[in-house]
A = this chain, B = another copy of it.
């Protein structure tokens, strides 16, 4: 995984709170293979900075004045050639905006309360090109309810993830390896209906395809392996 002599990962910090920027900078600059190349306090300043600095990763807050993280993400991806990886930074897990940002093309998200090691890890991962989805956030949902796996716990977690009851059913069947047609047969509805639910699930989980959604289900303890 670690290639000797590789160039350091360059990061642009975008957050309206200086304290947060300072914290991120401190955490990231402690790593020899990560370099913070710039900072911005709002979304509007991002585009020119990205063009000038060409960072590998943009750590982007969601809630910001002038231009929020979602719009900023869209703007960067739409206007910049070979855009940087975008890591959405947020205070709350299950922030609705986070999912919108992921839909807008962000590569991952990160909780501000995450431990330094996690933050560093997240930056390295997105820099490597990996879609860093549902890492701490979704997983923590299950942890909040005991050992996550029981029926009630899973149901609670599902609500927190803002999945509707039907979407939860669909996700569970997806996690058993069923195709859309098979799920439709099982639920006695049309395949188009299932497709609709699947799309909602993918959007809400920030997953790109059903495989990632199933991974999220396992990671969150929605399904019990073994």
Contact = CB atoms under 8 A, between A and B. Distances in A.
Contacts of A225: 218-219, 221, 225
A211 interface: yes
B131 A177 contact: yes
A211 B208 contact: no
Contact of A129 (B129, B186, B207): B186
A1 B156 CA distance: 21
Given A129-B185, A186-B129, A225-B225, A177 B208 contact: yes
A212 interface: yes
A133 to B, nearest CB: 7
A3 to B, nearest CB: 11
B221 A226 contact: yes
A101 interface: no
Interface centre among A177, A207, A221 (most CB of B within 10 A): A177
A214 interface: yes
B129 A182 contact: yes
Interface in A166-201: 174-179, 182, 185-186
A105 to B, nearest CB: 15
A211 B129 CA distance: 21
Given A177-B211, A177-B212, 9 more contacts: A129-B185, A129-B186, A177-B215, A179-B208, A210-B211, A211-B214, A215-B218, A218-B218, A221-B225
A153 to B, nearest CB: 14
Nearest to A215: B177
A215 B223 CA distance: 10
10 contacts: A128-B186, A130-B182, A175-B215, A176-B215, A177-B212, A210-B211, A214-B214, A219-B225, A221-B226, A225-B225
